[in-house]
Structure 1
Amino acid sequence: MNIAIHLQRAGRAFPQSVAIAVGTRSIVDYGTLCGRVGKIAHALRNRYNLSEGDFVAIAADNCPEYLEALYACWWAGLVAVPINAKLHSKEFEYILSHSGAKLCVVSSRLSAGIGGLELDSLEKIIEIGSAEYTGMYASPELELVHRDANDAAWLFYTSGTTGRPKGAVLTHRNLLAMSFCYFADVDQESPWRTIVHAAPLSHGSGLYALAHVMKASCHAIPESGGFDVEEIYSLIRDHHNVVFFAAPTMVSRLLKHPNDVDTSNLKAIIYGGGPMYLEDCLAGLTRFGPKMAQLYGQGETPMTITALSSLAHSENNHPDRYNRLSSVGIAQSAVDVRVVDECGNFLLAGEVGEVVVRGATVMHEYWKNPEATKDTIRDGWLHTGDFGVFDKGGYLTLKDRAKDLIISGGTNIYPREVEEVLLKHDAVIEASVIGRADDDWGEIVIAYVVSRSGARPEPAELDALCLSEIARFKRPKHYVFVEELPKNNYGKVLKSDLREIDKLKK
């Protein structure tokens, strides 16, 4: 079962339907897109000598060619490795090296940087928009390559507690089950007409593109390539039955816009990737009506753990309404979700434990990391590292995020990665990074630093160090210099205490 069969079906059944638009400009229909994908797939297999199961990376900003490249990989029987275009060059280097990608499709702005990396496995870089890229359109069309449902399709890199990203191997079966859950649990109302890709196609928005290819929807890419409040409202006005995936911080920014915009064409805002404040949720329902849905998922079970449907959002008279709006919803249809104690025993409603998941969307493994796989998937259950509690109605409320994960603007940031960079400075003895609540970003990164006596570094020095090692969005927004960090009897830094201290400093 090759997930690209849905594009083939759309190309045959709805050849004249608009497949991709940039802003309001129609770029390509499904018949043409399907043909291009088959031709690119032929070039990948024959011109560039890739074999079934080889890895192809895509390091690109949101653009029409992104979906072409993604589906061409699958059409050719290859495995796609989408990479966040905002990452630092060292992070690109690690992912490309670790995945063993033989070819990389890149945006023009990233071409030189990635081309300058020394990678043994990477044999070819193709820049989107170049003569070499468009030259692939002249290839003959490749017949869709059969793939087993359990074959790898998408290598999804998700940050780990060590700061090194782990590659979750997602199969064609995983992606198919995720897409069915989209219709069953997240976006339940027909028709499906337009999905706006305001969030990166390398992550949630790209994953949900699959469901919309199944329905031959229009994929609208903003002219800006990302999230701009004015442009999003313009796209809602000019397209029909619009849905899009957004981090809660994006929703918050939409709500701050003057309330004089026609949103009658809005079908649904699907939010996830971080906590939504109850006040923002209620404000969104007031502003947009019953057009909000929530998902809770991880890269290891893509977009699919629980969901809070638009119907659940609109139950104004339910006696437990506010608690439900503060939850992440009920288990999605393809998975079994439980909470367990430290021994793995299932807990009852009202008892807090670690959230575990099993089902058709759970990843096959972590690429080249059997120890992490063994630690994360135990007895068939994916251990999420998140802690939560079910109510008697089956609604899950998250109580804590394990591993001290920071979610800023819908993007995961792991403190240890930032701490390890700060400790490279000669004047830094200790560093502990936490998240501070922020109205615009959800959380911002705060670094508590213990420096050598008389050698306190300037914040600008630490900024420069971070920018040389990690992506800009991971850099601390503030540095707080302290004499010592709060620790327990074993010498472990107590981040819970540090967060309480930080609240008093705000």
Structure 2
Amino acid sequence: MNIAEWLAAIARRRPHAPALLDGDRVVSDYAGFADAASSVAGYLAEQGVVPGDRVGVYLANTPRYLELLYGIWWAGAIAVPINRKLAPAEVATIVADSGASVVFTGDVAVPDTRGPAAPVEREPGDLAWLFYTSGTTGRPKGVMLTHANLIAMSLCHLADVDPIGPGEAVLYAAPISHGAGLYGLIHVRMGSRHIFPPSGRFDPDNVLVLARKVGAVSLFAAPTMVRRLVDAARSKGADGIKTVIYGGGPMYLADIQDAIAVLGERFVQIYGQGESPMTITALSREDHRDPGRLASVGTAQSVVRVRVCDADGRPLPPGSTGEIEVKGATVMAGYWNDPVATADAVRDGWLRTGDLGRFDEDGYLTLAGRSKELIVSGGSNIYPREVEDVLVGHPAVAEAAVVGVPDPEWGETVVAFVVPAPGAEFSEGSLDELDEHCRDRIARFKRPRRYHVVPDLPKNAYGKVLKTELLEKP
């Protein structure tokens, strides 16, 4: 099945339903959306694109983006969405690796070309989306996502994340090339309105204004975006926002507690990877009412099995920390042109996520960090996420990152990088206070031995902290 058939179906059933909005202004209904996708497919055929070819999209978020994305699928081709924040050299690497024959970029205008009346037929196992990883530890790899992967992920949204009713809307506050675009798929199937902020970027004040005007708005946001939205909503309120789905990075306990206090019961957390898009675990809206669940990332989603294993791939019991593995309908078909990396990542159908975590007796998963970031000091394992949670719990700390650095006596020692909260300043005395804060909350061997105050943390184009760059600091 071609996932573009969802657009064709809703266009037949509800042709005049508003589809694409520039701000609060409707620029296309679903009939027009489908016609535009068909036209893009016709144009691609004229360029020699055949089913299975790769087509890149390197654009900021605009209504045109969705027309191009669905036009690529309508033609039976494979979409290669490229993060607009990437540098030219990074874009060139992705284009070359994917073998994309066409790349849409800039203020693209596709002639009104007559295209096929229906999407080209595709099999469930055919590739639909080539998702390039963020490359925090090396060269980005192309994750092969099939039509079946995307369909399973989308239907899981309705079962485990957020039901979608008539007249709702999705707002693209984060890049369509990433999680926001993936979550847009189910909103097409349900005939939602798709809102694009006119600025093409995330502006929390503008998001709040649009939500009040349009109503019943859902959005996907990284934790840093949630913090900014919460700060803006303190004085303006959050009328019109139905659901904020957050993921893609660590949401610290103090931050989600503050977010709930300001915005109320509007939050759902998802944990996933490009290799199992948006679909490993979910912490439901109901679970957010239980303070004891907030430090977790929830329970396994409906179409996957999740387990925690030791270094030899043996499942561990609840309470034990190990590598998180996932198996099911959303797990990728592999890495593009990289069978060695594929074999290393997927073992007997189980995706080795590279993330560390532990289950409790009720099946709730708590993350402990990346396996490559594990710190071993004096023979003891130290999980950076645990230390970072404690640091961010101090009112003077906005963000924190913890790394291990070589130590001749202990093997590694813990070093913390902290970003002051707005209006906060650190002096030698306040760092002593921060150290005391840690001593009161975690074992002495886990607390940082050195603190660095920095104006911000280095991040890649997807908002993930680049700890490799922190390790290079003196």
Name the TM tier (shorter chain).
0.7 to 0.9
1:350 maps onto 2:347 in alignment = no
How has the CA–CA distance of structure 1 residues 168 and 140 changed in structure 2, closer, same or farther, with 3 Å as cutoff? closer
Q: TM-score, normalised by structure 2?
A: 0.81
Measure, in 2, the Cα distance between the counterparts of 1:142 and 1:210.
Answer: 20
Q: Does the alignment pair 1:398 with 2:367?
A: yes
> What residue number does 2:12 align with?
12
Deviation by residue 1:288-310 (Cα, 9 ceiling, x = unmatched): 22110000000000000000011
Q: Distance in 2 between matches of 1:191 and 1:440?
A: 42
Matched AA of 1:236: A
AA matched with 1:486:
P
Q: Are 2:128 and 1:153 equivalent residues in the alignment?
A: yes
1:385 aligns with one of 350, 354, 379: 354
Amino acid at match of 1:233: L
Q: What's the counterpart of residue 59 of structure 1?
A: 58
Distance 1:165 1:343, change over 3 A: same
Q: Is the Cα–Cα contact under 8 Å of residues 341 and 347 in structure 1 kept in the other structure?
A: yes
1:195 shift after superposition: 0.4
Matches within 5 A, 1:319-398: 321-398=290-367
User: Hey, what's the Cα distance between the residues in 2 that align with 1:217 and 1:297?
Assistant: 24
- Which residue is equivalent to 2:172? 197
Quick one: distance in 1 between partners of 2:101 and 2:408? 47
Structure 2 CA distance for aligned equivalents of residues 22 and 307 of structure 1:
30
One-letter amino acid matched to 1:390:
F
For the 8 Å contact 1:161–1:403, the answer to whether it is kept is no
Q: Does 2:52 correspond to 1:83?
A: no
Taking a change above 3 Å as real, the CA distance of residues 440 and 257 of structure 1, as seen in their structure-2 partners, is farther
Shift of 1:404: 3.5
Q: State the AA in 2 paired with 1:272.
A: G
SS across alignment from 1:205? helix
- CA separation of 1:299/1:308 partners in 2, compared to 1, >3 Å: closer, same or farther? same
Distance (Å, rounded) in 2 between the aligned partners of 1:220 and 1:154: 22
**2:57 matched to 1:40?**
no
8 Å Cα contact 1:42/1:142 also seen in 2: no
3-state SS of paired residue (1:310): coil
What residue number does 1:104 align with?
103
Task: Tell me how far 1:239 sits from its aligned partner.
Answer: 1.0
Cα shift at 1:488:
6.0
Partner of 1:294, secondary structure, is strand
Distance between the aligned counterparts of 1:297 and 1:373, measured in 2? 18
Query: 1:134 — aligned with what?
Result: 110
C-alpha distance in structure 1 between counterparts of 2:227 and 2:347, whole Å: 38
Distance 2:164 2:400 in 1: 32
Q: Kindly tell me: are residues 21 and 374 of structure 1, through their superposed partners in 2, closer, same or farther at Cα, counting changes over 3 Å?
A: same
Code of the residue aligned with 2:311 in structure 1: it is: E
Match of 2:384 in 1: none
* TM-score (ref. length: structure 1): 0.76
Distance in structure 2 (CA, Å) of the matches to 1:347 and 1:445: 26
Deviation at 1:74, TM superposition (A): 0.7
- Gaps of at least 5 residues in structure 1 are 109-127, 315-320, 406-433, 449-484
From 218, 230, 251, the counterpart of 2:226: 251
1:344-380, Cα deviation, whole Å (9 max, x unpaired): 1111111111100000000001001111000000011
Give the C-alpha shift of residue 17 in structure 1. Answer: 1.0
Contact 1:486/1:497, CA 8 A, preserved across alignment: no
Q: Determine if contact 1:56/1:73 at 8 Å carries over to the other structure.
A: yes
Q: What whole-Å deviation, never above 9, does each CA across 1:482-504 have from its counterpart, x for those lacking one?
A: xxx62569xx9947457734436
Q: CA deviation at 1:141?
A: 3.8
Distance 1:153 1:440 in 2: 42
Residues 94-131 of structure 1 show CA distances to partners (whole Å, capped at 9, x for unaligned) of 100000000000124xxxxxxxxxxxxxxxxxxx1xxx
Contact 2:55–2:102 (8 Å) recurs in 1: yes
The amino acid of 1:364's aligned partner reads A
Aligned identity (percent) is 44
The structure-2 alpha-carbon separation of the partners of 1:244 and 1:165, relative to structure 1 and needing over 3 Å to count, comes to same
CA distance in 2, matches of 1:72, 1:252: 35
**Over aligned residue pairs, what C-alpha RMSD do you find?**
2.6
Q: Once the 2 structures are TM-superposed, how far is the Cα of residue 189 of structure 1 from its aligned partner?
A: 5.6
Give the whole-Å Cα distance in 2 for the aligned partners of 1:79 and 1:378: 26
What is the CA distance between 1:160 and its match in structure 2? 3.9
User: Which residue, 243, 251, 272 being the options, matches 2:247?
Assistant: 272
Q: What SS does the aligned partner of 2:64 have?
A: helix
Q: Is the 8 A contact 2:42 2:113 kept in 1?
A: no
Alignment counterpart, residue 503 of structure 1, candidates 447, 451, 456: 451
**Cα deviation, residue 190, structure 1:** 3.3
Counterpart selection for 2:147 from 168, 172, 190: 172
- Alpha-carbon shift at residue 143 of structure 1 (Å): 3.1
CA distance in 1 between counterparts of 2:69 and 2:341 reads: 27
Is the alpha carbon distance of 1:140 and 1:256 closer, same or farther for their aligned partners in structure 2, counting shifts above 3 Å? Answer: closer
Q: Aligned-pair distance for 1:2?
A: 0.4
Q: Output the CA distance in 2 between the equivalents of 1:48 and 1:310.
A: 47
The structure-2 alpha-carbon separation of the partners of 1:332 and 1:18, relative to structure 1 and needing over 3 Å to count, comes to same
> Where do residues 210-289 of structure 1 align in structure 2 (5 Å cutoff)?
210-257=185-232, 259-289=234-264
Does the Cα contact within 8 Å between 2:144 and 2:332 map onto a contact in 1? yes
**Aligned partners of 1:252 and 1:440 also within 8 Å:** no
Contact kept in structure 1, 2:237 and 2:263, CA below 8 Å: no
Tell me how far apart the structure 1 counterparts of residues 232 and 239 of structure 2 sit (CA, whole Å): 16
Q: Within 2, Cα distance between the matches of 1:151 and 1:442?
A: 41
Q: Which amino acid aligns with 1:235?
A: L
What amino acid does structure 1 have at the position aligned with 2:95?
Answer: L
Question: Using the alignment, how far apart are the partners of 2:105 and 2:401 within structure 1?
Answer: 29
